[in-house]
Amino acid sequence: MYFTLLIVVILTAIALVAVALGIAKAISPRSYNPQKGEAYECGIPTRGKSWMQFRVGYYLFAILFLMFDVETVFLFPWAVVVQDLGIYGLVSIIFFLVVLVLGLVYAWRKGALEWK
């Protein structure tokens, strides 16, 4: 019973995606200008290779920013209902903050926050 329902849902999803792509291809405007295939870099023609490697430090810094941004997203709803949660809510949020601080200390010790 559930297997049949799962197959129907998967086939329906595939059909809807195929129909949407077909309609988009049929009604989309077409332009065969060779300039459309070139990389756009603020109107300035590229010199050399367009692909370049970035230092991994940028990615680590971005991941740390996201980690503490998500922390804020989780702290706000907790602050709204802190009165209703009692001591269990306080202990759980302290555990959450300790894990985040340990992550920050680890990243700091590894040198992820230093720009070299």
pLDDT digits (tens, 9 = 90+) for 55-96: 777 777 788 788 788 888 888 888 888 888 889 888 988 998
Q: Give 107-116 pLDDT, tens digit per residue.
A: 888 877 777 6
DSSP conformation letters of 28-68: S-----GGGGSPPSTTPPP-S-S-----HHHHHHHHHHHHH
Task: Dump pLDDT digits (tens) for 35-64.
Answer: 777 766 566 666 777 677 777 777 777 887
